A and B are shown apart, each in its own frame.
Chain A
Amino acid sequence: DAGVIQSPRHEVTEMGQEVTLRCKPISGHDYLFWYRQTMMRGLELLIYFNNNVPIDDSGMPEDRFSAKMPNASFSTLKIQPSEPRDSAVYFCASSVQGAYGYTFGSGTRLTVV
């Protein structure tokens, strides 16, 4: 099993540009989570899906952020327009038992200049 696959690993973009982060969960996992990690705030849950349906998006910071899961094997997190304060490591995680047994992807390090 290849684990949770995220792309790109690193992204550097200019303020105002659109950024799209991608995630492929482990096959058979029906929960998918998007987290953001910064030194100041730690790991923050942005949104999670169950069977491709968004369940809780209360952590999405503002309308500039959106997430989709069009099928069981793919999810995107989009930021438009991006701002320097969005700079962070974005992790995707999947699980077969909700909060139990998360497997994290390698993360995407986003830098907005």
Chain B
Amino acid sequence: QKEVEQNSGPLSVPEGAIASLNCTYSDRGSQSFFWYRQYSGKSPELIMSIYSNGDKEDGRFTAQLNKASQYVSLLIRDSQPSDSATYLCAVNVFRFQKLVFGTGTRLLVSP
């Protein structure tokens, strides 16, 4: 079992729709969770972090965490073509100062 799992996609949504990206993790000691966005040929950039159960909103982005189910999600409201990218879920276990990444979900937003 991989430590962090994501559906590779592509996930296709029309412009203006809500895109829902999901991630599961295996280590129950995980304490911090991150979403990175990576455009083709570019490096990953941090867009959201979440540390406690529930929702965290930042503009059009909402991160959701359910530690009991070992599940993290990212919702993108009013999706734009510029949101088309690969979204990487990353997990940190407190005692180690490093991130484990999923393989990413490719999102395609069509005009």
Contacts and interface: CB of A to CB of B under 8 A. Distances in A.
Interface residues of B, number: 18
A56 B44 contact: no
Contacts of A56: 96, 98
Interface string B28-68: 00001000000000111110010000000000000000000
Contact of A99 (B43, B44, B45, B92): B92
Contacts of B92: 98-100
A25 interface: no
B104 to A, nearest CB: 6
A41 B99 contact: no
Nearest to B102: A42
A42 B32 contact: no
A55 B96 CA distance: 9
A99 B49 CA distance: 11
A46 B32 CA distance: 20
B101 A43 contact: yes
A106 B104 CA distance: 18
7 contacts: A31-B97, A43-B101, A44-B101, A56-B96, A99-B97, A101-B46, A104-B44
Nearest to B43: A104
B103 interface: yes
A102 B46 contact: yes
A42 B103 contact: yes
